[in-house]
Structure 1
Amino acid sequence: MSSRTSPVSRTITIRRAVARDARRLTRLVRGSGAYQGEYAAAVAGYRVGPDYIEAHRTFVAVGADEQGDRVLGFYSLVLAPPELDLLFVADEAQGRGIGRLLVEHMQAEARAAGLDHVKVVSHVPAEDFYHRVGAVRTGTALANPPAVPWDRPEFEFRIRSE
């Protein structure tokens, strides 16, 4: 588990997701503003289930508020083949460095697992984010209708050993 104080002086903690997080993570995915309009089909009916959380290295970024711990974002790292399968930051938490913090955590997890790279098939609106956090564009994932009727940029994080 790691902690960091965000630019708004709130402590952000990244912890391993547990089965009881599944509903909150599903709501975060389905409610993402990045998947509105033409992109809505990609997350319609999508579910992050307890089985998914147990099968993959899924981590959540949480921040404390008046109601308790609030999920601000999460990611899921698949080890074989190495892929950042999911990365979401809550709409209201974007622009505060949480996505970058999650990527840094993912890279540390990948390094600890002995990986030298991690693939990412990006959502089109997230392409600039992946450039900013150091991912290298490697190609294009072709459309997969009906759920994903558009091509998507493909990236790779190169994991450096320390």
Structure 2
Amino acid sequence: MGRIRSYTRLMSDITIRRATADDSPRLTRLVRTSGAYRGDYAAMVEGYQVGGPYIEHHPVYVAVDDDGGRVLGFYALLVDEAELDLAFVADAAQGLGIGRLLMEHMTEQARAAGLGSVRVVAHPPAEEFYLRTGAIRTGTVRPTGRIHWERPELRYDVA
């Protein structure tokens, strides 16, 4: 409970900044330890790495608290593909509005880049989050590779 309280206190003290290659270990840890990817979904993040070159090549933004620089969440936007590639919020920070802040920031960045919409291929349990933050469902993506389930396809209209 104390941990959640400290995050709640920090809601007004959150900074969203461009990630750097130095953030790679913390972003990778956030992905690999995400509670949303346990059980059947664990294969999606097993061995996954948010590498420095990826961070330097794509717009990756991280939400951190101003007190200690704790990573609360992040997203990666693939501008050339007009697609949200990654979006994660730390387990202890979920339900506090950080994901919504990140999606608002993402749509602003997409608009500034001249995009009319942003595609999202969602982790099935995250579909409701995307719908609540303004995305609309456009279909499903069939299973491929290590992913043995259909995934919801959504779109944010940002123009």
TM-score, normalisation: structure 2: 0.93
C-alpha separation in 2, matches of 1:9 and 1:23: 26
Q: Which residue of 1 aligns with 2:80?
A: 80
Q: Alpha carbon RMSD of aligned pairs, Å?
A: 1.3
Give the counterpart letter for 2:136 in structure 1: V
Deviations 1:29-81 (A, max 9, x none): 0000000000000000000000100110000000134xx21000000000111
Select the structure that is richer in helix: 2
Give the counterpart letter for 2:154 in structure 1: F
Q: Which residue of 2 aligns with 1:49?
A: 51
Q: Which residue of 1 aligns with 2:17?
A: 15
Q: How does 1:113-152 map to 2 (within 5 A)?
A: 113-145=113-145, 147-152=146-151
Q: How does 1:25-64 map to 2 (within 5 A)?
A: 25-64=27-66
> 5+ unaligned residues in a row in structure 1: which ranges?
1-6
Give the counterpart letter for 1:149 in structure 2: H
SS of the residue 2:30 aligns to: helix
Deviations 1:74-100 (A, max 9, x none): 000001110000000000000000000
SS of the residue 2:66 aligns to: strand
Give the counterpart letter for 1:12 in structure 2: I
Give the counterpart letter for 2:76 in structure 1: S
SS of the residue 2:69 aligns to: strand
> 5+ unaligned residues in a row in structure 2: which ranges?
1-6
Select the structure that is richer in strand: 1
Deviations 1:9-45 (A, max 9, x none): 3111000000000000000000000000000000000
TM-score, normalisation: structure 1: 0.91
Aligned length: 152
